[in-house]
Each structure stands twice: as structure tokens, then as C-alpha cells.
Amino acid sequence: MLFGKCLRDPGGLVRRMMSQVANTTRQKNRIPAKIRMRFLPCCDIVVVSGKFLKRVWKNPQDRSYFYKMKTESIIQVADKEFELYISFSKIKDRIEQLGAELNEAYAGLDPVFVPVLNGSFMFASDLIREVCIPCEVSFVKTASYEGTVSSGLIKEVIGLGMNLKNRHVVLVEDIVDTGKTVAALLEGLKMQEPASMEIASMFVKPDAFTENFEVRFRGFDIPDKFIVGYGLDYNGYGRNFRDIYSLAGSR
């Protein structure tokens, strides 16, 4: 499921629009009366598509309102078509398991998580929220993809801002493909003499892997197919999808 964003509506335009939607759908009982009356007077208004809301509820965490949208089975990203491959619910369950593994492995060790931008930003955010032990986070950014093929060329754009000497480091990646990007990063990080270094990756492609390091914390092993969503992109697009999609027609 995807969730709609909440927007401020100081001019009241969206509120008036939502009032008209509610009045139109009231007779069809699309929105429960208690929710409808609580939702409309608020300043935070959800953006909707279509003529009615299927389900609206309040999030007690940030006092905002959300609505559910159906996950698409086929999406268009730039000039290519992708099909649903792994749902966000499966991703979420696996991340909870990985978080438990990290909590057990690094209890009392004060680890440093090093997410690799841009692709790992969603995975890193969700994963670190599952970590309940003391830890630190620093970021590094590289680029190795051109279109749908890993170029193998590494360009470090943003370097680490902390000393890793004698620290227990967990490199957080979205996907380990050929492994060349991670191998280059590992070599650079080893120069800082960390106490230990491990890799956590949401996805691993064993068939494409050409290096000799181990990915200790891994979400899913997948075939050598191109995927987008959950932070992964195709030429800069597609990162915003919560689910994972594979290139249509790929096996």
C-alpha cells in the first residue's frame, strides 16, 4: 500500500474541495460519519485522487491524516515498464528480522552505520529505526550505474565525516550487484583501521557477484535482473515507490 501525503491548506481551497467530496459520497456511505466529521475541519488535508476516499484514519504519531492507494502491478519509469516484484510488506518483515540480528550481533559494541547514498536511503532509514542499541550514523555517496547496467566506475562524492579507527562499522547498501562499488568502499574504509567491518544489504545478486567479500546481513537474494523502487532508481527516477519492481519481461 502507498500512503498519500498531508499538505497545509491555509487558503481553505483543498478543505472546500474535500467538503464537496464528502457531501457527494455521504449518500454512498463511502466514509464513516465519525471519521468524516473529524477529518474535514482539520488544517492538515490529505491529497486524494478519484471521487471518494476509501479509508481515512488519524496517525497519533504526528497528528496527520492518510489514505490508502492500491499498489500498481505495472508502472512506467522514464522510458521503461516495470512489474511488481517484492511488496513493501515483505520488505518490512525482513527489515525487522535484520534489525533483531544487528541488535544481537552488536550489543555493547557501539557500531557505526555507514549508509551508501543515494540508493540506500530508504533501507537505511527503516533499518536503523529497528536498531535499539547505541550507535552512530555517517554517510558516503558513490555512483556506479549508467542506465540499467553497473558501470563499475566508482566516484566518491560525499566522504565520511568521522574517524572509524577501532570502531565496529556496518556498511549499509541498497543492493550488491557485481560488488565492485562495495569492494572499493571497503578498501577505502580499511585505511581508517576499524575494529571490524560488515555489510548490510537489502538485496544481493549472487549471479552477478564477482568479488570475494561476504555480505553478512542480507535481506533478499535475487536473480540478476534490474529493479527499481524502495530507493533504487532507473536514471534517477523510481526511488519513491515503496514496493520493488523489476524490468518487465526480465527473467
H helix or E strand, kind and range, residue 188 = helix 180-190
Provide the annotated active-site residues. Answer: 177
Distance between CA atoms of residues 203 and 200, nearest Å: 9
* Residue 171 contacts residue 199 (beta carbons within 8 Å): yes
Residue corresponding to grid cell 550487484:
177
CB 93 within 8 A of CB 79: no
Pairing relationship of beta strands 145-146 and 6-8 according to DSSP bridges: unpaired
Instruction: Please answer whether residues 72 and 240 qualify as being in contact, where contact means their C-beta atoms are separated by less than 8 angstroms.
Output: no
- For the CA atoms of 28, 30, 35, 39, the dihedral, rounded to the nearest 10 degrees, stands at -100
The C-alpha cell at 64 is 496527520
The rounded distance, in Å, linking the Cα atoms of 135 and 68 is 34
Of 130, 226, 229, the residue nearest 172 (C-alpha): 130
